[in-house]
With several copies, the nearest count.
Chain A
């Protein structure tokens, strides 16, 4: 079971978490991650723009969620990721995992985030008073993937 949403509209992370949890009496453990647009200490952020690759995005997220379901005992997976224009403090995305075991719920959410970050086709651009810049990928994000690469 999984639900993947790629949308421009904002969403209510609390309402989504409640809906995700509802009726899960066979799952004791729910982990959620939410990503929020951070303001920049140097130059105040006017807004963030997120570009994505329609079609491939849903495909990549589904593959990542399917792999998580193969690796861990999960009852449900939720991924919501926005694109378009966002202000500081706005919700960018969330993932949630439900499992009978807390270790599985944690590991799967951590895995989903690592893969989503470097393998789902989203690109962030930060717009400040000084201009705009595409956010660079970090070496540590590629390294984070290596942790999951062998059994």
Chain B
């Protein structure tokens, strides 16, 4: 399936793009992370410490075990610092 993957803050800076469309059969966020990390060093670097990352599937905050089947977009970013 085709999935929009988005990156914010220092995750975006490490990956080098704010968003991209990936072709994947990953079932969960964690599967997708493994797939991307296997591709290139910049992904492996960005995803090296998952505790320092947050993930949203279709704009809802979730965790790395979450299913992405049927999802349209997945976003990776550091903990939020608004306010």
What residues of chain A have their CB less than 8 Å away from a CB belonging to chain B?
35, 50-53, 55-56, 59-60, 81, 92-93, 102, 113, 116-125, 134-137
Of B9, B12, B75, B80, which is in contact with the most chain A CB atoms at under 10 Å from its CB?
A: B80
B6 contacts chain A at the CB level, 8 A cutoff: yes
Given A35-B83, A119-B61, A123-B8; A53-B78 close (CB under 8 Å): no
For this complex, 22 residue pairs linking A to B, each with C-beta atoms less than 8 Å apart, are A52-B82, A53-B59, A53-B77, A56-B56, A56-B59, A59-B60, A60-B59, A116-B82, A117-B82, A118-B79, A118-B80, A120-B80, A121-B8, A121-B75, A123-B8, A123-B9, A123-B77, A123-B78, A124-B82, A134-B81, A136-B79, A136-B81
Once the chains bind, are A124 and B61 in contact (CB under 8 Å)?
no
Q: Interface residues of B, CB < 8 Å — how many?
A: 17
Leading 4 A-B pairs by shortest Cβ distance: A122-B82, A137-B79, A123-B9, A56-B59
Once the chains bind, are A122 and B81 in contact (CB under 8 Å)?
yes
Residue ID in chain A nearest B83 by CB atoms: A117
B75 contacts which of A50, A56, A136 (Cβ < 8 Å)? A56
Once the chains bind, are B83 and A51 in contact (CB under 8 Å)?
no
Main secondary structure, interface of A, reads mixed
CB neighbours (8 Å) of B77 from chain A are: 53, 121, 123
Give the complex CA separation of A121 and B55 in angstroms: 10
Given contact pairs A117-B83, A122-B83, A137-B78, a sample of 19 additional A-B residue pairs in the complex whose CB atoms are under 8 Å apart: A51-B9, A55-B59, A56-B59, A56-B60, A56-B75, A60-B59, A60-B61, A81-B82, A92-B83, A102-B83, A116-B82, A118-B79, A121-B77, A121-B80, A123-B77, A123-B78, A123-B80, A134-B81, A137-B80
Give the complex CA separation of A52 and B12 in angstroms: 12
Once the chains bind, are A123 and B81 in contact (CB under 8 Å)?
yes
Give the complex CA separation of A12 and B78 in angstroms: 30
